[in-house]
Amino acid sequence: MEAGCDANPLLERVRAELSRYEHPLARFAAQAKADGSLELVIEWRNPPAGAHIYRAPIHPRDVEGPRFAWNFQRYLYDCLHDYLVEMFVRTPQSRDPR
């Protein structure tokens, strides 16, 4: 899921932090986008039908901050929560009564 060695110190810092996390259901990566910005990538190890790959922006100012590790952990957990919630097929608020 990771590209080759990028000469981007911010990207490498995010990847180093991500290497501290392991999850039995999800894989994590960070990558640089064409415009030079960074993104967090989360995908399921064995994706269920219809599952998409989750992508979230990572702001350089956050990576450069002194509390990066703590703030990144909260961001990663928030993204995992959002990803899981996005996968609901139906909720009480759904307009499609199955």
| Each residue's pLDDT tens digit, 75-98 | 999 999 999 999 988 889 888 665
pTM of the model: 0.85
Assigned token pair, 74: 């909260």
Non-local (6+) Cβ contacts of 83 within 8 A are 42, 54
| Each residue's pLDDT tens digit, 24-82 | 999 999 999 999 899 999 999 999 988 999 999 999 999 999 999 999 999 999 999 99
